[in-house]
């Protein structure tokens, strides 16, 4: 802090306390660094406060409510199911989000990470100004890890107001809308469409591309589309959202499909067309850190920018905008500052969409493997052939494993089905350790479990299937 003509050094500074920032701060402290974390809003960032965690809480609650309304098991029927959305939101905020954010605060304190509340921006290569409600102070630092995350993109004709909202607004509604329009059928849009459809909302998804969830294999996306149809979710693809007109009670959405203009009147509009990096207000131009045309910070395999003592991680660097990617990069950056010989390896970076059923992917798709010049193949096993899935009433789904034809090395995988978010880790580990499909098939999987679908898909790849 500036005191007269003197400034105190903070050692290693981390700007942003999301899943990248707080993990980087703790790992740096564990390695003996003096660490200060700067956060302008809430510890835990978007993910814990208004993103990953609260959305999964509402997803789980909506599944329970829908199961009570329409049990998948013959002979089990609820005569009445009530919904207190205020109580659900209170549980989400205080029993889930608050517990986790309080836990992170405890971990930061335990690891002796100092926390400064305020907005940080660079004065020069080794000084950062932290502005709070009542002014600011300037600090010097030796190294810095930038982890400022991203914010939702606003589109023309849909300025965020009372009834045109982003994912944060939708997660914090105090009522269950009767009608909801979701602009963008990617991860966030599809997940939240499912939440409110389960709670009884009439949902319409407007997707600009030819399919929702374009990052996943179309064959697997069909399971989600089928589920949405059962939930009475309308999907309009190749749709261009043009404008919105709000009133006190509703909002009119005007959009175009194949040259034909249409309109919907609904209670709320969720705009979920992507996110932009939070790099504009940092003063990066003052210190010469290079960025690309999208505002993403250029980094090397050590998460190091064009300045050796400045690192960047998470949504503000190229690659998938995933919380676990940010955490992984945070560890690499902290360890690099400590002098360890580490670098990022994105060969096995899993991605999950918590729809019904869940979708998950990792490594290469078959098309990507062939594009890389690898003679690859894909082996599949349906959830319908799995005893545990059948007994759970969750037989919809499919496992795909991509492998090298000659060596059998696992290159990637995609899953649609119950617990896909957990199952994908086995394929990810196989890629990370250069395991083969034979290694997976020789690994004894407990019976009856969903994990057997991975073993069965590997056996299909070996040409030795048992249950298909």
Residue 17 shares a structural domain with residue 128? yes
Residue 32 shares a structural domain with residue 140? yes
- The number of domains in the chain is 3
- The residue from 273, 290, 313 where one domain ends is 273
- Rounded CA gap, 35 and 105, in Å? 14
**How confident is the model over 15-40, as a mean pLDDT?**
98
**How confident is the model over 208-232, as a mean pLDDT?**
96
SS3 79: coil
Residue 110 shares a structural domain with residue 227? no
Residue 157 included in any domain: no
Residue 63 shares a structural domain with residue 32? yes
- Rounded CA gap, 295 and 312, in Å? 12
Cα 223–Cα 228–Cα 233 angle in degrees, nearest 5: 160
> What pLDDT was estimated at residue 163?
97
Q: What percent of the chain has pLDDT over 70?
A: 98
> What pLDDT was estimated at residue 174?
95
**How confident is the model over 373-383, as a mean pLDDT?**
98
Residue 158 included in any domain: no
**How confident is the model over 182-210, as a mean pLDDT?**
98
Which helix or strand (DSSP H or E) is residue 325 part of? Answer: helix 323-337
pLDDT over 90 (residue 80): no
Interstrand relation of 35-39 and 135-140 (parallel, antiparallel or unpaired): unpaired
> What pLDDT was estimated at residue 426?
98
Token reading at 319: 């690659």
Token reading at 342: 């580490």
Residue 217 pLDDT level (bands cut at 50, 70, 90): very high
**How confident is the model over 426-440, as a mean pLDDT?**
98
Residue 136 shares a structural domain with residue 235? no
> What pLDDT was estimated at residue 7?
56
**How confident is the model over 365-370, as a mean pLDDT?**
96
pLDDT over 70 (residue 5): no
CB atoms inside a 10 Å sphere around CB 241: 23
- What CATH number is attached to the domain comprising 9? 3.50.50.60
SS3 197: helix
Distance of CA 315 to the CA centre of its chain: 10
Residue 146 shares a structural domain with residue 7? yes
pLDDT tens-digit map of 307-321:
999 999 999 999 999
Residue 392 shares a structural domain with residue 426? yes
Residue 156 included in any domain: no
> What pLDDT was estimated at residue 8?
64
Residue 147 shares a structural domain with residue 188? no
pLDDT over 80 (residue 15): yes
Residue 72 shares a structural domain with residue 19? yes
φ/ψ (deg, to 5) at 236: -110, 110
Catalytic site positions? 447
Residue 196 included in any domain: yes
201-229 b/e (C-beta count within 10 Å ≥ 16 → b): bbbbbbbbeeebbeebbeebbebbbebbe
Residue 138 shares a structural domain with residue 193? no
> What pLDDT was estimated at residue 78?
84
> What pLDDT was estimated at residue 186?
97
Which helix or strand (DSSP H or E) is residue 53 part of? Answer: helix 52-69
**How confident is the model over 413-427, as a mean pLDDT?**
98
pLDDT tens-digit map of 313-347:
999 999 999 999 999 999 999 999 999 999 999 99
pLDDT over 50 (residue 2): no
Residue 89 shares a structural domain with residue 138? yes
- The residue from 273, 291, 318 where one domain ends is 273
Mean of the per-residue pLDDT values for the chain? Answer: 96
- What CATH number is attached to the domain comprising 446? 3.30.390.30
pLDDT tens-digit map of 121-151:
999 999 999 998 888 999 999 999 999 999 9
Residue 266 shares a structural domain with residue 330? no
Work out the widest C-alpha separation in the chain, in whole angstroms.
78
> What pLDDT was estimated at residue 21?
98
pLDDT over 60 (residue 458): yes
Residue 345 included in any domain: no
> What pLDDT was estimated at residue 133?
82
Residue 71 pLDDT level (bands cut at 50, 70, 90): confident
Parent domain of 282: 2-151+276-337
> What pLDDT was estimated at residue 3?
39
Residue 6 pLDDT level (bands cut at 50, 70, 90): very low
pLDDT over 70 (residue 4): no
């Amino acid at each position: 802090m500036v005191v007269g003509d003197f400034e105190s050094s903070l050692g290693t500074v981390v700007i942003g306390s999301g899943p990248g920032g707080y993990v980087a701060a703790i790992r740096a402290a564990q390695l003996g660094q003096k660490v200060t974390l700067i956060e302008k809003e809430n510890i835990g960032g978007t993910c814990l406060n208004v993103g990953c965690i609260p959305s999964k809480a509402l997803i789980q609650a909506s599944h329970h409510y829908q199961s009570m309304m329409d049990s998948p098991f013959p002979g089990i029927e609820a005569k009445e199911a009530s919904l207190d959305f205020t109580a659900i939101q209170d549980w989400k905020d205080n029993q889930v989000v608050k517990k986790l954010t309080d836990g992170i605060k405890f971990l930061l304190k335990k690891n002796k990470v100092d926390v400064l509340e305020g907005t940080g921006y660079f004065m020069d290569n080794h000084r950062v100004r932290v502005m709070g409600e009542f002014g600011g102070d300037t600090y010097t630092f030796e190294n810095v890890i930038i982890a400022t995350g991203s914010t939702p993109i606003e589109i023309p004709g849909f300025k965020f107001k009372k009834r045109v909202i982003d994912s944060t607004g939708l997660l914090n509604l105090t009522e269950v809308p009767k009608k909801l329009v979701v602009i963008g059928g990617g991860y966030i849009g599809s997940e939240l469409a499912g939440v409110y459809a389960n709670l009884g909302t009439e949902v319409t998804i407007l997707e600009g591309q030819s399919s929702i969830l374009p990052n996943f294999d179309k064959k697997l996306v069909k399971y989600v589309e089928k589920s949405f149809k059962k939930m009475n979710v309308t999907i309009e693809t190749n749709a261009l959202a043009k404008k919105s007109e709000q009133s006190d009670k509703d909002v009119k959405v005007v959009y175009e499909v194949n040259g034909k203009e249409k309109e919907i009147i609904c209670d709320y509009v969720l705009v979920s067309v992507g996110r932009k990096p939070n790099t504009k207000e940092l003063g990066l131009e003052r210190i010469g850190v290079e960025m690309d045309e999208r505002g993403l910070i250029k980094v090397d395999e050590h998460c190091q920018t064009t300045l050796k003592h400045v690192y960047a991680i998470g949504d503000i660097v190229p690659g998938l905008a995933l919380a676990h990617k940010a955490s992984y990069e945070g560890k690499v950056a902290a360890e690099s500052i400590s002098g360890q010989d580490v670098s990022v390896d994105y060969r096995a970076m899993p991605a999950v969409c918590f729809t019904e059923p869940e979708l998950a992917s990792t490594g290469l798709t078959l098309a990507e493997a062939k594009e890389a010049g690898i003679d690859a193949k894909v082996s599949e096993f349906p959830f319908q052939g799995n005893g545990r899935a059948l007994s759970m009433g969750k037989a919809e789904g499919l496992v795909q494993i991509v492998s090298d034809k000659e060596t059998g090395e696992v290159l990637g995988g995609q899953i649609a089905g119950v617990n896909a978010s957990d199952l994908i880790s086995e394929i990810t580990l196989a890629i990370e350790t250069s395991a083969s499909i034979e290694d997976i098939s020789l690994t004894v999987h407990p019976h009856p479990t969903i994990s057997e679908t991975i073993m069965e898909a590997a056996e299909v790849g070996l040409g030795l299937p048992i249950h298909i």
